[in-house]
Chains A and B, each alone.
Chain A
Amino acid sequence: MKRILRNMDWWLLFAVLILMGCGLGLIDSATHSFAVSTGKSWHFSRQSTFMLIALVLAMCTLRFDYRILKNYATPFYIFNVLILIAVMLFGHTQLGAQRWIQIGGFTVQPSEFAKVFLIICLAAFMEKRIEWLEDFKDYIPVFIYIFIPFVLVLKQPDLGTSLTFMAILLGMIFVSGFKIRWFVWCTTLMVSLMPLMWKFVLKDYQKNRIRVFLNPELDPYGSGYHVIQSKIAIGSGGLFGKGWLEGTQSQLNFLPENHTDFIFAVVGEEFGFIGAAFIILMYFIIIWRGITIALNAEDDFGTLLAVGVTSMFMFHIMVNIGMTIGIMPVTGVPLPFLSYGVSSLLTNTMLIALLLNIRVSDQKLQF
């Protein structure tokens, strides 16, 4: 316990706790009209309950050394793949995608937890091969390793999570020394494969999202509606915002999905540039601490884990906020700690716990 407190990354911990607190306030605001009409603040109480559960769980995991996870990489991997297959078979459909699975009284989103498993498995898988990762062909097993869960998630279809997998992979191979020119090749290859992807891989609604991302006015009442309303919400917030519960866009329901994917628009509208900048600063602290932890990790497994976690957060933050301000296409990626969603909250808390674990397991006692 002493060791945990001594090595605790207070910056990271407080940034996360502050974000969680903000998240509760924002969910309360975003679901205010719903709560008023039903008389129950269902979202708020559910989110806060699970927040407590997640924090307790996270504290518990700190007692174990993260290095034991290495030993479970293969079972995790198999479990992960099986779960994703289960979703395909038994999952129920929501919002046009098969992402949810019923376990007991809860619906969970296995692709959220798949991110945790993937980061652990991939870190373990690469750590074993880290000395050999010299040539491009050395990376091919890594690609194959990640390809199976990637395709399974993509098939759900959950473009957001599958792209998250890519981001995690990208971060890890970048740090492990993947050559810049290989990145260029891969990018070139991807771009040249785009027309084929467009034709055979992407679903109609995904194509439409990309089209509308390029020109939201194409469909102001359909898929472009979200982005237009979100931009109006954020823009109209100005410097100081309209005040908590005072955002007309979100309170009058012009902004759909405002408690989940578009919660950042509530920040922009109700707390203005100052509030948004503060939230962005908190996220920056997470990323900064994540990379610092990666730098100071005692072993490669720790570094790779930290990089994977940081990459995932970075991807979520950029894609989600970018989406609300119209510089990224609409993908179903939640904003960590702010968006309503129990699965995502548990996942993110576990990942932060993982980062803290790497930090507190540090025997060198630096910084």
Chain B
Amino acid sequence: MLNKRNMARLYAMFWLCFFLFVVLLGRMAYMQLWRGDYYAKQADGNRLRQSRILAPRGMIYDCNGKELVNNLPGYAVALQKQSEYDKEMLKRLSVLIDIPLEKIEKKIKDNEYYSEPVVLKANISPELVTKIEEQRRDLPDVILQVQPIRNYMHNTLAVHALGYVGEVSSYEIENGLYKDVPQGSIVGKSGLEKTYDKVLRGEDGVLMEEVDVAGNVVQHYDTVDPVQGKSLKLTIDYDLQYKLEKFIDQHLEYLRKTKLAPKARAAAVVALDPRNGAVKAIISRPDYNPNLFVNGISTKDWNAINNDPNFPLNNKAINGEYPPGSTFKIVTGSAAFELNKVQLNELIYDGGFHPLVPTMGNAGGEVLGWLSFIKGLAMSDNVYFYELGYRVGIDAIAKYARIYGFGELTGIDIEGESSGLVASKQVKMDIWNEGWRLGDTFNAAIGQGFNLSTPLQLAVMLSCVANGGIKHQPYLVDEYLDPDGTVFGKPERKESRHIDVSQRTIDYMRDGMSATTEAGGTAAYFSSLPKKVAGKTGTAENPHGRDHGLFVAYGPVEDPELVVVAIVEQGGYGSSSAGPIVYEAFEEFFRSQGLLPPEPTKEELEAMARVEAAAKALAEKTERMKREALADKKAQEALKKAKAEAEAELKKEVATKKADEDKKKKSKSEKKKKAKKKKDENKED
């Protein structure tokens, strides 16, 4: 029989067990009560799958509210965020979406430190969406994100202003350009899309779904709706932009075909409102289609764009640097008047060359004789401005060039602007390590040599002349709009200020430019516009080929509302290459104001053609009938007879009518006489 000690052992066993139960309970309490929240979060992390709902970007409208850029619905393939993926599944996916496995793995690695799903391919085809849905079970970590696709509605229209979007690159995330943007997001890559990316992008939403261990969705859990980005209302006028783009393409083709400028492929145009700096149209040629970039551009398309010697991606209106040519004579002229180095009616003799540097003369060796400032500017005489340059000196020219905005960024709200170059002694020293010569001053005075400017800078300079000396920051975005169309805000702009040039001098410049478009000026054909437009031609020397043709203009001269600058690379003389573009711009502008009859629409043209055809058919018919009638002489005679009878009858009728009328008249006059008599009698009474 077990003894007392054994009984004690049983008690010991009981207390030992009791202690172990307490340990269990203690551990349970620790895990469930103390650390409960931690584990609850882990459980939610297990069962809840978060996927991003991409916010649609804001829309872009023209100044009249016409849609330029919107979004189309689409799908993107993404991988649910996980620390590890099944290799077999990735392989299957790689085949399905046609992206090499290494590329997928790289994307996963790039996304290592983000909790967002890894976006693999955007804007997939509806067939691929179905295929992935069918293979759901084999692809537990794959999710399909609804993704708005950016759509440039008018394709190439205003592409250099709008820019384009694309998937954010790891470089952009790392280098802080888009630092807090999750991988796979669509961001602005150039143009307004880039400058206003923060405004346009919006806030992504979150879709939370409960999934089982295989990744199958069990039920919907929660949704945070995405917030669409703000829309942009631009200053650009769709009609003007569209008409100008169409015309430029036709015009460049015309220039090439007629061999006037066989290599004219690149061009730039800026049209802005001199009263506030609002850009009404901005064009650069050649162009490209931004829709190609939205889903990742194909190698073929990219090579086509990238290997084009005329750089379609460049916005030549803001970053093309050209010698301003004769348009720069406004700067030289301003300097001369401001410094009192010349009088308005002072005559300077052009003998074909300047006596101090006899090798430099007019284009084509013209000799224009005695010239006043107005005539010198209107006829764009080089010798006259050599003399002015000689009188004021390079330092003064450089000073006034800067006053007009050359050599500095205009501050327009698209990235990639160039600042150009103002010719000065220092510049020559820096570039050539040579001293300054009088010939350099002469070159600078007529806008050649070291001077470089962008078309936009020329537009800003011209605006100053047009509006009486106020420098506005040019801008493209007028307002931010909420999705419902109400105004949300306005972008900030640099304050406008008066430039340091007197009203008198500016008036002289305006007179000179007005004379340019009058008879005897270099662009006399502008006088056919309904209101007076002042302009200035320019030819920018191009050491690599034919000269660039330039034309700048503003109008109407009494109260300028539009400034247009056009440049055609290798276009030759400004008046024939760039001038027609500017002319077209003003024509369209005046037409929009009702000063010119509207262009016939397509339907109208068709209707006109129909009427013409009908008239022709009618003419043929009468001709045939005549011939038939001639063949039948009897009928003809009868016709004659009948005609004669009819005429006789008509005469008779006319005669009787006349007689009747005469009678009536007579009776009337008699009545009147009687009445008069009565009146007279009454008077006498």
- List residues of chain A with CB under 8 Å of any chain B CB: 33, 130, 171, 174-177, 221, 229, 231-239, 248-249, 252-254, 268-269, 272-273, 276-277, 280, 283-284, 287-288, 291, 294-295, 299-300, 303, 307, 310, 314, 318, 321-322, 325, 327
Instruction: Decide: B28 and A175 in contact? CB cutoff 8 A.
Output: no
Query: CB distance A177 to B24 under 8 Å?
Result: no
> Please, how many angstroms separate the alpha-carbon atoms of A295 and B17 in the complex?
15
Q: Identify 6 new A-B residue pairs, CB closer than 8 A, beyond the known A238-B40, A249-B47.
A: A254-B212, A273-B28, A280-B21, A291-B14, A295-B10, A318-B24
Q: State the Cβ distance, A126 to closest chain B Cβ, in Å.
A: 11
Binding site secondary structure of chain A: helix
Whether A130 lies near B43 (C-beta < 8 A) is no
Cβ–Cβ contact A235 & B36, under 8 A: yes
Q: Is the CB of A234 within 8 A of B10?
A: no
Q: How far is the CA of A273 from the CA of B42 in the complex (A)?
A: 18
B1 with A300: CB separation less than 8 A: yes
Can you list 21 contacts pairing A with B, beta carbon distance less than 8 Å? Answer: A177-B5, A231-B39, A232-B42, A235-B35, A236-B40, A238-B33, A248-B44, A252-B213, A268-B28, A273-B33, A280-B21, A280-B25, A284-B18, A287-B14, A288-B17, A299-B1, A307-B10, A321-B24, A322-B24, A325-B24, A325-B31
Q: Contact between A231 and B31 (Cβ–Cβ < 8 Å)?
A: yes
Task: Answer yes or no: B431 CB below 8 A from chain A CBs.
Answer: no
Q: Which residues of chain A are near B40, meaning CB under 8 Å? A: 235-236, 238
Q: Does B116 contact A (CB under 8 A)?
A: no
Complex: A176 Cα to B8 Cα, angstroms? 11
A221 neighbours in B (Cβ, 8 Å): 84
B39→A232 contact, CB < 8 A: yes
Within 8 Å by CB of B10, from A239, A273, A294, lies A294
Q: A130–B2 Cα gap in the complex (Å)?
A: 8
**Chain B residue with Cβ nearest A238:** B36
**Residue in chain B with minimal CB distance to A127:** B2
Q: Per-residue 0/1 for B4-38: is the Cβ within 8 Å of any A Cβ (1 yes, 0 no)?
A: 01110110111001101101110111011101101
Q: Tell me whether A273 and B29 are in contact (CB under 8 A).
A: yes
Query: Would you call B213 and A253 a contact (CB within 8 A)?
Result: yes
Q: Considering the complex, give the chain A residue whose CB is closest to the CB of B38.
A: A235
CB under 8 Å from chain A, chain B span 93-109: none
Asked if B592 is at the interface (CB within 8 A of a chain A CB), the reply is: no
- Whether A236 touches B6, Cβ cut-off 8 Å, given contacts A280-B21, A322-B24, is no
Contact A234 B32 (CB under 8 A): yes
Q: Which of A252, A272, A294, A303 contacts B211 (CB 8 A)?
A: A252
Chain A residues closer than 8 Å to B214, beta-carbon distance:
253
Question: Which residues on A sit within 8 Å (CB–CB) of B44?
Answer: 236, 248
A234:B24 contact, CB within 8 angstroms: no
Alpha-carbon distance between A285 and B42 when the two chains are bound, in angstroms: 34
Q: Tell me, rounded to whole Å, the shortest Cβ–Cβ distance linking B100 to chain A.
A: 26
B212 touches A284 (CB 8 A): no
Contact A276 B2 (CB under 8 A): no
B43 pairs with A249, CB closer than 8 A: yes
| Distance in angstroms between the alpha carbons of A254 and B21 in the assembled complex | 28
Query: Is B210 in the interface zone, CB < 8 Å from A?
Result: yes
What chain A residues lie within 8 Å of B212 (beta carbons)? 33, 252-254
Q: Closest chain B residue to A311 by CB distance?
A: B13
**Interfacial chain A residues near B12, Cβ < 8 Å:** 174
Answer yes or no: B115 CB below 8 A from chain A CBs: no
**Nearest A residue (CB) for B9:** A175
- The answer to whether B210 touches A248 (Cβ under 8 A) is yes
> Contact between A280 and B46 (Cβ–Cβ < 8 Å)?
no
**A221 to B87 alpha-carbon distance, docked (Å):** 14
Q: How far is the CA of A252 from the CA of B2 in the complex (A)?
A: 53
Q: Which residues of B contact A235 (CB under 8 A)?
A: 31-32, 35-36, 38-40, 42-43
Task: Among B1, B28, B218, point to the contact of A277 (Cβ < 8 A).
Answer: B28
Known A-B contacts A175-B2, A252-B213, A253-B213; A234 and B21 likewise in contact (beta carbons under 8 Å): no
Contact of A307 among B13, B36, B210 (CB under 8 A): B13
Taking Cβ atoms with an 8 Å cutoff, the residues of B that contact A are: 1-2, 5-7, 9-10, 12-14, 17-18, 20-21, 23-25, 27-29, 31-33, 35-36, 38-40, 42-44, 46-47, 84, 210-214, 218
Partner of B47, one of A231, A237, A252: A252
Q: A248-B47, A295-B7, A300-B1 are in contact. Are A238 and B32 (CB under 8 A)?
A: yes
Closest A residue by C-beta to B39:
A235
Task: Verify B27–A327 contact, CB threshold 8 A.
Answer: yes
Number of A-B contacts (CB under 8 A): 133
Q: Which 5 A-B pairs have the closest CB atoms?
A: A235-B39, A236-B43, A252-B212, A238-B36, A273-B32
CB distance from A314 to the nearest CB of B (A): 6
Residue numbers in B under 8 Å from A236 (CB-CB): 36, 39-40, 42-44
Residue of A nearest to B14 (CB): A291
Q: Which residues of A contact B9 (CB under 8 A)?
A: 174-175, 177
Compute how far the CA of A73 lies from the CA of B31 in the bound complex, rounded to whole angstroms.
45
Across the interface, name the chain A residue whose C-beta is closest to B37.
A238
Tell whether, in the assembled complex, residue B13 and residue A174 are in contact, meaning their CB atoms are under 8 Å apart. Answer: yes
Q: Is the CB of B32 within 8 A of A176?
A: no
Chain B hits for A318, CB < 8 A: 20, 24
Task: Report Cα–Cα, A236/B46, bound state, in Å.
Answer: 11
Distance in angstroms between the alpha carbons of A325 and B5 in the assembled complex: 36
A299: which B residues are within 8 A, CB to CB?
A: 1
Instruction: List the A side residues contacting B7 at CB < 8 Å.
Output: 295
Q: Assuming the A-B contacts A221-B84, A314-B20, are A171 and B13 also in contact, with contact meaning beta carbons closer than 8 angstroms in the complex?
A: yes
A183 to B343, CA, bound (A): 123
- With both beta carbons as reference points, the residue of chain A lying nearest to B7 in the complex is identified as A295
Query: Roughly how many angstroms separate A295 CA and B10 CA in the complex, as a whole number?
Result: 7
Q: Which residue of B lies closest to A306 (CB)?
A: B10
> Contact check: which of A232, A239, A249, A291 meets B13 at CB < 8 Å?
A291
* Chain A residue contacts of B213, Cβ below 8 A: 252-254
Q: Which residue of A lies closest to B41 (CB)?
A: A236
Cα(A174)–Cα(B36), bound, Å? 39
Q: B36 to A239, Cβ gap below 8 A?
A: yes
A176-B210 Cα distance, complex, nearest whole Å: 56
Set of chain A residues within 8 Å of B1, measured between Cβ atoms: 130, 299-300
Contact partners of A268 in chain B: CB under 8 A: 28, 31-32
Closest residue of A by beta carbon distance from B211: A252
Determine the distance from Cα of A163 to Cα of B88 in the docked complex, in whole angstroms: 40
**Closest chain B CB from A317 CB (angstroms):** 8
Cα–Cα, bound, A44→B10 (Å): 38
Residues of B within 8 A of A174 (CB): 9, 12-13
A184 CB to nearest chain B CB (Å) = 15
Give the Cβ gap from A330 to chain B, nearest Cβ, in Å. Answer: 16
Q: A238-B33, A248-B46 are in contact. Are A291 and B17 (CB under 8 A)?
A: yes
Q: Are B39 and A248 in contact (CB under 8 A)?
A: no
A276 and B28 form a contact (CB under 8 A):
yes
Residue of B nearest to A174 (CB): B9
Distance from B4 Cβ to chain A, minimum over Cβ atoms (Å): 11
> How far apart are A215's CB and chain B's nearest CB, in angstroms?
17
Q: Which of chain B's residues have a CB closer than 8 A to the CB of A177?
A: 5-6, 9
Contacts of B29 in A (CB 8 A): 273
Give Cα A252 to B1, complex, Å: 56
Q: Which residues of A contact B13 (CB under 8 A)?
A: 171, 174-175, 291, 307, 310
Give Cα distance in the complex from A288 to B42, angstroms. 37
B43 touches A325 (CB 8 A): no
Residue among B13, B25, B33 with the highest chain A CB neighbour number at 10 A: B13
By CB atoms of chain A within 10 A, which of B1, B40, B46, B211 has the most? B46
**Residue numbers in B under 8 Å from A276 (CB-CB):** 28, 32
Nearest residue, chain A, Cβ from B42: A232
- Complex CA distance for A26 and B255, rounded to whole angstroms: 87
Set of chain A residues within 8 Å of B18, measured between Cβ atoms: 284
B44 to chain A, nearest CB (A): 8
Give Cα A175 to B23, complex, Å: 23
Question: Smallest Cβ distance from A179 to chain B, in angstroms?
Answer: 10
A277 and B43 contact, CB distance less than 8 A:
no
Cβ-closest chain A residue relative to B18? A284
Is the beta-carbon distance between A287 and B17 smaller than 8 angstroms? yes
